[in-house]
Structure 1
Amino acid sequence: MARTLTEANFGNLRELLEAEPPKWLADSAAASCILCGECSKGRSLLPSKFRVSDPQRVCDVCFVRLESVQPYLMNEVSNAAQLPTHDLTDLSTLRSWVNFPWGQTMEYEIYKAANTIKAYNRVGYLKPEKSIPDVILRHAKGLAIITVVKVGVMVTYNIGTGLVVARREDGSWSPPSAISTCGAGWGAQAGGELTDFIIVLRTTEAVKTFSGNVHLSLGAGLSAAVGIAGRALEADVRAGDGGYAACYTYSCSKGAFVGCSLEGSIVITRTQENSRFYGSQSITSTDILLGSLPRPPAAAILYRSLADLYGKLDG
């Protein structure tokens, strides 16, 4: 079925798409599930009058009935189809100055990534010698943007979340895929830091690595963060079920941390968050990064930030 409904198809499905929400009963009001012998595992987007953007658990009968209109509802009512609500220019909020390391939703990951690029543009303008070389950015096949918190003495632990986007042949950007990371490092180091990473995916193989379910990153990095600003550069090798590739990692840090270390991290695709955001249980990170999905309106602020970044390169 096409992602948009023709007038004929819409006429046939009008009753379903314009259905009124039923009166819901509390679980305590029913002695057993209706129609289902067991609680169903199916989740579907519901018509617009239900006023929910997250896929909802529905009975098996409704799951089958709604299956034919899911592509249409993905374009109309999913979280990805909604305009962004976070304001990058609102400097009165803490989140405008500090990205929190763990984002609960894709919407916040989009805000964090846009905020990271905005901060990088500011640093690159004031201190060009600390910016990512133009030639590396210009030929990048994708970017992964992650905020990580790291603490420890000698042995350090890190955790964080972010997203990855791929750059298509025509120069446009793919929809974002949510990721998380955790890991450990060992070396002559002590303290704690909050770091915004921009990982340059230099090849299509690197994008494929991030499109897998999980991959391992190994690299040796140098880091120095004192007060509100620091910077690190790291070359690492990544391997997982999506393949293997080398990447360049650039970062700006906030905290008090000095040292050099051998880092090891696991990066995991947040499949459930991707499903919640796009409204499909079957969507994969490969579909998102390497497929032909349209750019979601919810990521508009991210695409504007990327346009500003690459606009300077073209200029």
Structure 2
Amino acid sequence: MRKFAGLVCTMALAASSLAAFGEADKAKLDERLLSARDVINEVMATPDKGIPQSILAGASCVVVIPSFKKGAFIAGAQYGQGVATCRTPNGWSSPVFVQLAGGSFGFQIGGQSTDLVLVAMNQNGLQDMLKSKFKIGGDAAAAAGPVGRNAQAGTDWKLNAEFLTYSRSKGLFAGIDLDGTVLSQNADDTRTFYGADVPFQTVLHGDKVVPTEAKPFVRTVAKYFVVSRDNQ
């Protein structure tokens, strides 16, 4: 009987520990969403140095990978973790969680924190987001995005680029070449956030209600999209 009671206690403690770890992981994801919201707000706080309105107005998806450092990439062989949302007929979708790995980045010198923003410009970009992973510049055409209220890209991105890519470091925001990096779905984080396995397609097509914790990020993306559309 004592052995049975001890086993029950052990199982209860294990379950309690798992729940605590789950709550801690969920809290980290909530924080990542808030950081992504802050990145968008800070980038767009100065329109003359932010993402051009014409690009925001035509965006199919937005990916934000906030505040990662060179050291984390070198030690963990993984550059960064982020979140993504896509435009649907009923507004912007609930977010999914993604990760970016590989490549070589000149802006890593000195180990400064760097925020990344990737903007999918067409339905091909959306379809790439639904894949388990894809290589930027290989599987998906990409270009360094132009900056400024009415800036125009130096290439014919409207015809060819599926993604426009940006970086923000030490207050400076500019287009960046991310060719060779791999963007992949983070199914574990998405499962932790929603409490169950939810296909990326279900979420990004708008078939999942936006959780309370995700609303600040999604509403911020939607706000700038609407403003851009109104100013076209």
User: TM-score, structure 2 length as denominator?
Assistant: 0.68
1:300 alignment partner, one of 209, 212, 215: 215
2:39 alignment partner, one of 111, 116, 140: 116
- Residue in 2 aligned with 1:266? 182
Matched, 1:167 2:167: no
Instruction: Tell me if structure 2 keeps the 8 A contact 1:146–1:198.
Output: yes
Aligned ranges 1:77-92 → 2 under 5 Å:
none
Q: Secondary structure at the match of 1:132?
A: coil
Q: Which amino acid aligns with 1:308?
A: K
> Which whole-Å CA distance do the structure 1 matches of 2:119 and 2:183 have between them?
15
Listed as ranges, the gaps of 5+ residues in structure 2 are 1-6, 13-18, 146-152
Shift of 1:300: 1.6
- Residue in 2 aligned with 1:278? 194
- Residue in 2 aligned with 1:26? 9
| CA displacement, residues 228-252 of structure 1 (integer Å, 9 cap, x when unaligned) | xxxxx998x9xxxxxxx72101221
Q: Which amino acid aligns with 2:180?
A: G
Shift of 1:191: 3.8
- Residue in 2 aligned with 1:141? 60
> Which whole-Å CA distance do the structure 2 matches of 1:163 and 1:135 have between them?
22
- Residue in 1 aligned with 2:127? 208
Q: Which amino acid aligns with 2:29?
A: M
Listed as ranges, the gaps of 5+ residues in structure 1 are 1-23, 30-50, 56-78, 80-103, 223-232, 238-244
Instruction: Tell me if structure 2 keeps the 8 A contact 1:166–1:289.
Output: yes
Q: Which amino acid aligns with 2:9?
A: A
| CA displacement, residues 133-160 of structure 1 (integer Å, 9 cap, x when unaligned) | 21111011111111264549xx9x8611
- Identity among equivalent pairs (%): 24
Q: Which amino acid aligns with 2:44?
A: N
> Which whole-Å CA distance do the structure 2 matches of 1:280 and 1:189 have between them?
36
- Residue in 1 aligned with 2:15? none
- Residue in 2 aligned with 1:248? 164
| CA displacement, residues 102-153 of structure 1 (integer Å, 9 cap, x when unaligned) | xx832122111111111112132xxx1x22121111011111111264549x
Aligned ranges 1:60-71 → 2 under 5 Å:
none
Q: Secondary structure at the match of 1:295?
A: coil
> Which whole-Å CA distance do the structure 2 matches of 1:179 and 1:189 have between them?
20
RMSD: 3.8
Give the number of aligned pairs: 194
Which structure: greater helix fraction? 2
Shift of 1:28: 7.4
Shift of 1:217: 1.5
Q: Which amino acid aligns with 2:35?
A: K
Shift of 1:179: 0.6
- Residue in 2 aligned with 1:192? 111
Structure with bigger gyration radius:
1
| CA displacement, residues 227-285 of structure 1 (integer Å, 9 cap, x when unaligned) | xxxxxx998x9xxxxxxx721012211299xxx9774212221101111111113x111
- Residue in 2 aligned with 1:97? none
Q: Which amino acid aligns with 1:202?
A: M
Moved more, 113-122 or 284-293: 284-293
> Which whole-Å CA distance do the structure 2 matches of 1:120 and 1:188 have between them?
18
Q: Secondary structure at the match of 1:215?
A: strand
Q: Secondary structure at the match of 2:79?
A: strand
> Which whole-Å CA distance do the structure 2 matches of 1:189 and 1:116 have between them?
18
